[in-house]
Amino acid sequence: MLSFITLLSLVGSGLAVRPFLGSADTGIELALGSTANDSLPDLKNIVGLPDFEWVAERYLNATRWSFFRTGAGGEWSYRNNLESYGRLRFRPRVLTDITRVEASLNTTLFGHTFSAPFFMSPFGRAEFSHPDAELNLVRGAAEENILYIASMHASKTLDEISAAKAPGQVTGHQFYNEGTDADTLAYFKQVEAAGGKAIFFTVDSAGDGNRHRAARWNVTSVDSGYTYATWDYYKHLGNLTSLPIIPKGIQTVEDAKLAVAAGAPGIFISNHGGRQLDFVPSALEVALEIYEEAPEIFQQIEVYADGGVRYGSDVLKLMALGVKAVGAARPLAFANLYGVEGIKKALQLVKHEIAIDAANMGLGDVHQINASYIKLNNPTWNGWYS
């Protein structure tokens, strides 16, 4: 029998192994720590996406910071989203021709070409970090030719967002089934009139997110109450628009298969940034489940993913399993403190990181990445991957 003391030491050592690092210490405190909390460090001193979060935590007031930062429950999924990338190792190849890696970043999503396999996930209340809110997001996306997916609960109206679009700019639009069919039809018509080319139907929010951090400041879900939808309803939506409708919030291989069976042109693996149900897997874990049990899905339809993406290497790990494009939300919400210049900088940083990391992996074409570039069955995953 295991003695209480042995058990205690096991528990103790387990805790001692790896404290959670919301973001790793890369020396920002040493470089920018003397900046007053009520002023923004010069944008030129921002070197990566996590830096925007460091700035936001100091600059935003408690209400606004807590709204963006919150996860559900004890925030295990929030932390796991960030940490799971650290459990997967690369298998870089050397002495290959990588001269065209930057030119290979272009990515075609639902028939439209963007400059990278990276996009801006939808998030509400962008006005919490900048008065121009989503206008900066859509303008930054246009300048960098990146897909922007506008939240249905944006601070600005769809008309205002639409008016800020560059000529011909392709956007995606997020949808919650909150109203009647007539409301939904009206929303889809508005999206079509605004030049939207895809609808991302959020399916991970049947109930409210249990958000303790946000509840303290009365800023929990933007949408509230229970919502009812089924795969039959998903199919029915196809009668209300000719745009592709991509279910956002797929978290199991079973639902990925049901999406294919329902005729979905794509799926979006997401746990809503860990803001809905705690103890759900990260996008990387779900992508692994699909890769193991139904890898053909990555060929059949376009697979999108997000959650905790902060580095170019995170993007590449998801792509290695077959994910077509990878998104982020909080880093853009925080970059928006700097307005459109901040959004552009964030997008440029991600693109550059994807390119240099791919080069260091020996990839001459980022889209050639596959599972041979990551180490599956790593024993340090400790039962996470069997």
Ligand X SMILES: *[C@@H]1O[C@H](CO)[C@@H](O)[C@H](O)[C@H]1NC(C)=O
- Enumerate binding residues for ligand X (CB under 6 A): 37, 57-58, 61-64, 103, 106, 113, 145, 218, 235-236, 238-239, 368, 370-372
Nearer to ligand FMN, 317 or 330 (CB): 330
DSSP 3-state of 197: strand
**CA–centroid distance for 263 within its chain:** 24
Interface with ligand FMN, residue 309, by CB under 6 A: yes
Which partner in ligand FMN, ligand X, none is near 157 (CB below 5 to 8 A by kind)?
A: none
Interface with ligand FMN, residue 173, by CB under 6 A: no
Residue 315 and residue 303: Cα distance in Å, rounded? 13
Binding mask 18-57 for ligand FMN (x = CB under 6 A): ----------------------------------------
Question: End-to-end distance of the chain based on CA atoms, in angstroms?
Answer: 27
Interface with ligand FMN, residue 158, by CB under 6 A: no
Query: Pick from 41, 50, 117, 122: which binds ligand FMN (CB under 6 A)?
Result: 122
Which partner in ligand X, ligand FMN, none is near 91 (CB below 5 to 8 A by kind)?
A: none
Kindly give, in sequence order, each residue whose CB lies less than 8 Å from that of residue 83, ignoring residues fewer than 6 positions away.
Answer: 20, 308
| 333 neighbors 297 (Cβ within 8 angstroms) | no
Interface with ligand FMN, residue 121, by CB under 6 A: yes
> Which range binds ligand FMN by CB under 6 A, 36-44, 46-54, 90-98, 306-314?
306-314
Q: Smallest gap, in angstroms, from Cβ of residue 223 to ligand X?
A: 12
Q: Smallest gap, in angstroms, from Cβ of residue 50 to ligand FMN?
A: 11
> Which range binds ligand FMN by CB under 6 A, 108-116, 120-128, 255-263, 350-358?
120-128
- Report CA-CA distances (Å) from 43 to 39, 113, 185: 12, 29, 42
Which partner in ligand FMN, ligand X, none is near 68 (CB below 5 to 8 A by kind)?
A: ligand FMN
Instruction: Retrieve residue 193's tokens.
Output: 């009139």
DSSP 3-state of 15: helix
* Residue 304 bridge partners (DSSP): 268, 325
Interface with ligand FMN, residue 150, by CB under 6 A: no
Query: Pick from 79, 87, 112, 153: which binds ligand FMN (CB under 6 A)?
Result: 153
Residue 249 and residue 264: Cα distance in Å, rounded? 13
Pairing assessment for the beta strands 196-202 and 171-175 based on DSSP bridges: parallel
Residue 173 and residue 290: Cα distance in Å, rounded? 25
Q: What backbone phi and psi angles, to 5 degrees, belong to 195?
A: 80, 15
Which partner in ligand FMN, ligand X, none is near 238 (CB below 5 to 8 A by kind)?
A: ligand X
Nearer to ligand FMN, 101 or 259 (CB): 259
Q: Smallest gap, in angstroms, from Cβ of residue 336 to ligand X?
A: 15
Kindly give, in sequence order, each residue whose CB lies less than 8 Å from that of residue 137, ignoring residues fewer than 6 positions away.
Answer: 120, 126, 148, 150, 332, 336, 343
Which partner in ligand FMN, ligand X, none is near 309 (CB below 5 to 8 A by kind)?
A: ligand FMN
Q: Smallest gap, in angstroms, from Cβ of residue 174 to ligand FMN?
A: 5
DSSP 3-state of 157: coil
Residue 240 CB-density burial (10 A; 0-12 exposed, 13-18 middle, 19+ buried): middle
Query: Pick from 77, 80, 129, 151: which binds ligand FMN (CB under 6 A)?
Result: 151
DSSP 3-state of 281: coil
Q: Smallest gap, in angstroms, from Cβ of residue 371 to ligand X?
A: 6
Cα diameter, the chain: 71
- Report CA-CA distances (Å) from 325 to 106, 172, 261, 269, 305: 11, 13, 22, 11, 7
Residues in the chain, overall count: 386
Nearer to ligand FMN, 266 or 273 (CB): 273
Interface with ligand FMN, residue 328, by CB under 6 A: yes
Query: Pick from 107, 202, 313, 336: which binds ligand FMN (CB under 6 A)?
Result: 202
**Which single residue is written with the structure tokens 């990878």?**
326
Q: Which residues bind ligand FMN (CB under 6 A)?
A: 67-68, 81, 121-124, 151, 153, 174, 202, 222, 248, 270, 272-273, 275, 306-309, 328-330, 333
